[in-house]
Structure 1
Amino acid sequence: MKVLNTLNPPPRTVRLLMLNYTLASTLCQPIYLCYDNSSFVLCVKQAGKVTCLAKVATKLPVRRKAMSRYSWKEQYLYWEQLAARRPATYRLHLRMWMALGTFFPLLFAIALVVLAVLLSVGISYIAWRIFVTYPLLMRFAEYIVVVPVSIVMALLYGTKQIVQSLFAPQLPPPNGVLLTRADAPRLFRILDQMCQRMDAYPIEEVVIVPDIDAAVAPWTAQTTFRRVRYSLILGLPLLDILSPDQMRAVIAHELAHLMRSSDERGLSAKARRLYHFWVRMIEIAEEQEEGAFVAPVILRFYNWFLPHFHPLAQVAERQHEQHADRIAAAVGTPKALAETLILLGLAGRWLDQVFWNRILEEELYRVINPFDNLRQSWEQHYPSARFQRWLGLQLLETEDPDDVHPSLRSRLRALGYLPVQTDPLTPAKPELPPRPSETAAEFLLGDSRASISQALFAFWRENVLPRWHESLQQIKEARGRLVVLEGKTHLTDEEIAERLMLTTIYRSREQAIAYAQSVLQSYPQHAAAHYALGGLLIDDQPEQAIPLLERTMQLDESYTLLACELLAGYWAGQGEMDRAERYRRQAQQYYQKVSEAIYERTEISPDDPLEPADITPAQAVALRRYLWQYAQIRAAYLARKVVKQYTDKPLYVLALRFRRNAFTQQEANLLEQIAQNLPVSPPLSKDNVVVLALVHRFASLTKRLQSISRATLFER
């Protein structure tokens, strides 16, 4: 049951909505359509935990006012085209906006200083006049002056914080295993040589992390004059998978972000620093929003400035990423960099979906160090048809304005790595990079690799494993649920789908295939069984899997997203980009349809089209009796909102008019209570009824509801 609270606007956190769909990836688990004021989200709820599956659009990480002339994406595309056609004009615009974002806090800080000076002078003058006129008050001088002086000191401290946050921000050092020069002398020698050759700021520390990661992290020491230092973050899994030449390409790309001579680097780095400065300022302002006179000024400027500055700075960051790719290809070879970009995506997906899943499900971390066996596990799985399909999915990804990195396809095309189709009848199949004979870990770390692995395992157990306790508990509950389902003789459709999902995850591949085939023999129209068997066979027996997945979408439309993902990835991995693009467009069309359904069911306005609710007289009587007992309600109306998408899933609006025109917390609590205890029966349910109060902007809705046939439940 959704309550539209007109006293307090809906929170910015994701709100679960009222539609239930069948999600292909979880095999008939309920999927929830969600909305969070800035993006549409698809979520699945399992064992009480809500997991985000995909987003239609992502905006700023914090509050942002809607722009009147352009949407965020249109702004980004405009600046991207301007940067390509007239780069000098684009850089001029970027510098002007950066100057505005920089000088506003400076002017604000100067205003605080002037205010503090005026207060101090005024306090001194007033105190002098008081003490001259009333000498007996000299004994209370310290009590009279202490409060104004405290105000002056607070203003000066706020000024100091603003200036320091802008020009000398406190940046914490990265977390991980710190690598010293004694641990990896060859790695530091290569770093020193590359920094000198590329004219980059020196790397003072190397931090090893347990992820597929490579980045340069600035940090500052706890001193009065904070000198920015740089650490190179490298993931141990990355070192175990890449070759030495590929790791050089990674390091060269990261050092390109630190080159002193690059004007593009300086401009994009300053834009990024200014953006994050304002994000930090808004966090501080929101924390001090109650009772602080500074917060409203910061928030007002932020709501106007950042929506325009963020897409402008995003274009600069993406240009700098492309510049770093060119530098890395020049320092090393374009082939090494291209293979590295491919392996980064493949290894990250493999770690998330295969390696760590097995470690957690079987609790292997209790008996072994996972980082000791990482390379062996990788070589057991790579290369295979699964990785070929994953590569196809990576090549299908389009440019995302929210990501500063270009798409893999555009980066490979810029490096000249994508295969060229010479024969129109023979598709150009993308190739997986070969396994190296010597890994970067063996070359750069040498004998220290074992001790680094032990230190990283200790870091992982202390910092990462505690965050997975909830997942471990869910795994135990899921295993227990599978045992219960396997012991039952008669299962419902939902229980069959649930057992298919759990069998696929926690049993062997052969057992999962056998069970899916047995379900199809008994229930030939079972969509979950078609999808489960198609997903299990897509890599090894695609000629059988493709018809199964096609049939899945015919039986149940809600499997479109993930069935299309499997099919598009397979065809793209085989070089059949036209077929893959067809499935990608089909998934996008379904996605757009779902997004429109989300918007229709989350945004209620006084201008929405309404029609009579299709309920029986008995249901209307039950609602009337329930609402009549609340003396605070003057009138109640029930209507059905006209929706364009999924018309078979209705949405009802229950509008209540209270005796008092003012809507206070008391009415808000009453509205919540009514929604929770509302007597409903099909077609009404607690998932498709929106309860709202006819106050403020909804007050004009009363006359429309009165004119709708059978919408009035009662008026008194």
Structure 2
Amino acid sequence: MEMAFNQEKFDILIQKLEVFARKQPSAYKLRVALIAILGYAYIFVILAATLALLTGIIWLMLTSRSFNARAIQVTIFLLAFGLILWVSFPVPTGLYLKREDFPSLYAFVDELSSKLQAPCFHSILITDDFNAAVMQRPRLGLLGWQQNYLIIGLPLMLALTKEQFRAVLAHELGHLSGNHSRFSAWIYRQRSTWYRLAKELGEGGNETSWFIFEQFLKWYVPFFNAYSFVLARMNEYEADKCALEIAGTKNTAEALINAEIKARFLESSFFSNIYKRVNTEIEPPKSVFIEMKAAFIKEIDSTESNLYLKQALAEKTNNSDTHPCLSDRLDAFQCLPKNLEKIPLPNTITASAAREVLGTGLDKLIEHFNQVWYDQMATPWRQKYAQLQESLSVLNELEKKSQKHKLNAEESWQRIQLTLNFKDESSTLPLLQDFLDINENHALANYFMGEILLNQQNTSGLKYVEKAMDKEIQLVIDGCQLIYSFFIKHDDINTANLYKQRAEKHYDKLLKAEEEREYIRPKDKYQPHGLSKLQLKSLRQQLSCYSEIEKVYLVQKVLEHFPEKPLYILGVMRKVASWGEVDTPTKNAELLKQLSDKIEFSGRLFTLILTGEHSDFEKPLSKVPDALIYQTSKK
């Protein structure tokens, strides 16, 4: 189900609600409560009406002398409609831990639950994510009867001390705590339940009865999510207070900082180095989590840690997530110094939370996740290794050839890409410089050149990345990230944030561009295709292979966003027997699949069959100059 909410309207609403909640907190909470109740009111009114109709029909069927077929059909429909409310939410995935196998973990969690007056957990799961979360699964759908799950990522436990981990769990349990606002905890559950309900109904609900809910939920879920957003963010601060009460300010602050540093280390360094081994190793490593444990115990390079911390502190709270940014959370603890340079890095951990809380069971868990990771990676890893060996052979041939002859542009570019894969950046730099001397507007070459120079802390790399972003819109977000990281490393937070904002705006524009390219309508504006004679000749030759085609139109859709990236519309009129045919939709679908699979075209192509349901497209397409590009001769 589509549950998008216009970001601009969303941001405006959040700004208004933040002011309203600050000035009139009680009135704001009352409105949130009324909106929450509205959802239940709609569902139960529909349910009551359904039961009343069902009861009436059954009574008529029992008192009538004969069964009416229509009544039976309506009864079946109403039963199916009633069952839609009894939605079965899927259980979370992960490795379920038994209390008898991990008594220390359960005792640790039980103690926190008791102190925070949080509900006990029916199950605790371990996953391979760097995260921790609580999940409540309503066994009776909207009627409730919550089943509580605690989901813990093993990497997170390996990265933190026991006291830091206590702070993280206290925060998660704080969302359900009875020590603070029960109302906030209730709204926290409602936000999750409504979103998941809409998702489950949209993906697996009964299509016949789903339409009654569809329009309501399309409006209600985004609106409730937006209206309760401010409260949800306040709930994050409340959950942080629970962490402070249980673990203390120092441990809570260090948990947040350590988690940020270690998460970025895993993404930017640890797994990056793991994946590089595919260049030389035919099998994926079988001890990833053992290596991860060792990497966390070994002190991460202080320069690297400081960079990750700077990146985290540079982030600002936004409306894409209810969680406040790191600096806002630390500021709420009153432990954020004016000079961010004075924030100390957490001490190297000597004993992880995983070892202290899981005890001897840790080794079995590491063995399990090592095997899971290996099994998931084995096939794609071997395939990648084989591809790289072929590529390495090609690189060797190109290098031999370059010693005797000058490579053409295509060969030179291939050599550059392969050199980047197999050798260090210093080996690629002179190749890129020579290539750009001849192909100065090559977007990717400029990007790679800029990336290497920025990695060497050379400011001249900025102009190359900027040029790459100007030439190719798909490089803007990556380019902004490169420059953002460069300025963060050089303590220029303001300039770094300008590039972050640029990336965010560009991402929004990309979403809008994709949206206008996902569909076409007869009333859309179209313009000439603009193809060269050579391109048209190639396309016509391909179309001539299909005897069932009568004529073909080719146009461009007029686009608002990134019009330099055209969307071509190929309208195909299929021949239909003069006496009619009985299976037009099937034949249209078969032809469409053949064309989509086999037509070679350099641009983005939207193909539709004009015979049948899309016949209303022929008139607007035919009005575009030179749109008719192919027509079979009439006999």
TM exceeds 0.5?
A: yes
Following the alignment from structure 2 to structure 1, what is the Cα–Cα distance between the partners of residues 172 and 19? 26
Q: Matched residues in 2 for 1:547 and 1:120: separation?
A: 80
After TM superposition, the structure 1 = structure 2 runs for residues 466-545 of structure 1, keeping only pairs within 5 Å, are: 466-489=375-398, 490=402, 507=422, 511-520=423-432, 522-523=434-435, 525=437, 531-532=447-448, 535=451, 541-542=456-457, 544=458
2:312 to 379, 394, 402: 394
By how many angstroms is 1:193 displaced? 3.6
How many pairs does the alignment contain? 605
Q: Is the 8 Å Cα contact of residues 500 and 515 (structure 1) preserved in structure 2?
A: no
CA distance 1:74–1:93, shift in 2 (3 Å): same
Contact residue 534 and residue 548 of structure 1 kept, 8 A: yes
Equivalent-residue separation in structure 2 for 1:688 and 1:147 (angstroms)? 49
Aligned letter for 2:196? H
More divergent stretch after superposition (94-103 vs 202-211): 202-211
Is 1:256 the counterpart of 2:174 in the alignment? yes
Alpha-carbon separation, structure 2, partners of 1:586 and 1:551: 17
* Deviations 1:25-74 (CA, angstroms, capped at 9, x unpaired): xxxxxxxxxxxxxxxxxxxxxxxxxxxxxxxxxxxxx324878x984555
Q: What's the counterpart of residue 34 of structure 1? A: none
- List aligned pairs for 1:211-610, cutoff 5 A: 211-218=129-136, 228-261=146-179, 262=181, 263-285=183-205, 288-289=206-207, 292=208, 294-359=209-274, 361=277, 369-380=287-298, 382-421=300-339, 428=341, 432-445=345-358, 448-449=359-360, 451-459=361-369, 461-462=371-372, 464-489=373-398, 490=402, 507=422, 511-520=423-432, 522-523=434-435, 525=437, 531-532=447-448, 535=451, 541-542=456-457, 544=458, 546-554=459-467, 557=470, 558=472, 559-588=475-504, 590-591=506-507, 594=510, 598=514, 601-602=517-518, 604-606=520-522, 608-610=524-526
- CA deviations on 1:673-693 (whole Å, 9 max, x unpaired) are 456666x8xxxx442444446
Of Structure 1 and Structure 2, the greater helix share is in 2
Compared CA separation, residues 701 and 416, structure 1 to 2 (3 A)? farther
TM-superposed CA distance for 1:219, in Å, is: 5.2
CA distance in 2, matches of 1:610, 1:162: 43
Which of 610, 619, 633 matches 1:702? 619
Partner Cα distance (1:63, 1:109) in 2:
24
User: What is the RMSD computed on CA atoms of the aligned residues?
Assistant: 4.5
Q: Secondary structure at the match of 2:424?
A: helix
Q: Which amino acid aligns with 1:63?
A: E
* Counterpart in the other structure of 1:36: none
Instruction: Tell me by how many angstroms 1:498 deviates.
Output: 5.8
Q: Which amino acid aligns with 1:121?
A: W
Q: TM-score, normalised by structure 1?
A: 0.70
1:108 correspondence with 2:20: no
Contact 2:432 2:449 in 1 (8 A): no
Q: Give the 3-state SS of the residue equivalent to 1:420 in structure 2.
A: coil
Distance, in Å, in 1 between the alignment partners of 2:597 and 2:517 is: 19
- Cα deviations by residue, 1:395-446 (Å, 9 ceiling, x for unpaired): 344445343322334333333444424xxxxx8476543323443234434x
Question: Are the counterparts in 1 of residues 126 and 152 from structure 2 also a CA contact under 8 Å?
Answer: yes
Q: CA deviation at 1:221?
A: 8.4
* Alpha carbons 2:14, 2:226 under 8 Å: kept: yes
Question: What is residue 37 of structure 1 aligned with on the other side?
Answer: none
Q: Residue 404 of structure 1 aligns to a residue in which SS?
A: coil
What does the per-residue CA deviation read over 1:255-310, in whole Å, with 9 as the maximum and x for residues that have no partner? 2112124221122223322332333233332xx32xx4x23223343334333233
Distance in 1, matches of 2:289 and 2:250, equals 28
Paired residue type of 1:120: I
In 1, the alpha carbon distance for the partners of 2:80 and 2:514 equals 47
Q: 1:88-134 CA distances to partner (integer Å, 9 max, x unpaired)? A: 333233222222221233233333332332233222222xx46xxxx
The change in CA–CA distance for 1:504 and 1:712 in structure 2 (over 3 A counts) is: closer
Q: Which amino acid aligns with 1:198?
A: L
- 5+ long unaligned stretches in structure 2: none
Amino acid at match of 1:564: C
In the alignment, what sits opposite 1:86?
24
The answer to which structure, 1 or 2, has the higher relative contact order (CA under 8 A, 6+ apart) is 1
> 1:97 corresponds to which residue?
35
8 Å contact kept, 1:501–1:532: no
Secondary structure, counterpart of 1:410 in structure 2: helix
After superposing the two structures, state which structure 1 stretch, 659-668 or 245-254, moved more: 659-668
What is the CA–CA distance in structure 2 between the aligned matches of 1:355 and 1:556, rounded to whole Å?
28
User: Retained in 1: the 8 A contact 2:282–2:385?
Assistant: no
**C-alpha contact 1:209 1:456 (8 A) present in aligned 2:** no
Shift of 1:623: 6.5
Residues 641-692 of structure 1 deviation map (CA, whole Å, 9 limit, x = unaligned): 55566665555444456788998454454455456666x8xxxx44244444
Aligned to 1:59: none
The amino acid across from 1:461 in the alignment is: Q
Other structure's SS at 2:429 match: helix
8 Å contact 2:286–2:371 — kept in the other structure? no
The code of the aligned residue for 2:178 comes to R
1:207 touches 1:231 (CA, 8 Å); kept in 2?
A: yes
C-alpha deviation, 1:569, in angstroms: 2.0
Q: Contact conserved, 1:605 with 1:698, CA < 8 A, in 2? A: no
Amino acid corresponding to residue 486 of structure 1 in structure 2? L
Unaligned runs of 5+ in 1: 1-61, 131-143, 422-426
Name the % identity.
23
Alpha-carbon distance in 2 for matches of 1:407, 1:502: 39
SS of match in other structure, 1:92:
helix
Q: CA deviation at 1:518?
A: 4.0
Distance of 1:417 and 1:581 partners within structure 2: 23
Instruction: Call closer, same or farther: CA 1:323–1:498 in 2, change over 3 Å.
Output: farther
Please name the residue that 2:62 is paired with.
Answer: 124
Q: Which amino acid is the alignment partner of residue 269 of structure 1? A: R
Note the 1:182-221 alignment, pairs <5 A. Answer: 183-185=102-104, 187-203=105-121, 205-218=123-136
The counterpart of 1:172, out of the listed 88, 91, 109, is 91
Rounded to whole Å, the distance in 2 between the matches of 1:367 and 1:242 is: 24
Q: Would you say the 8 A contact 1:430–1:574 is kept in 2?
A: no
- Amino acid paired to 1:233: I
Shift of residue 254 of structure 1? 1.3
Q: Which one-letter code corresponds to 2:53 in the other structure?
A: L
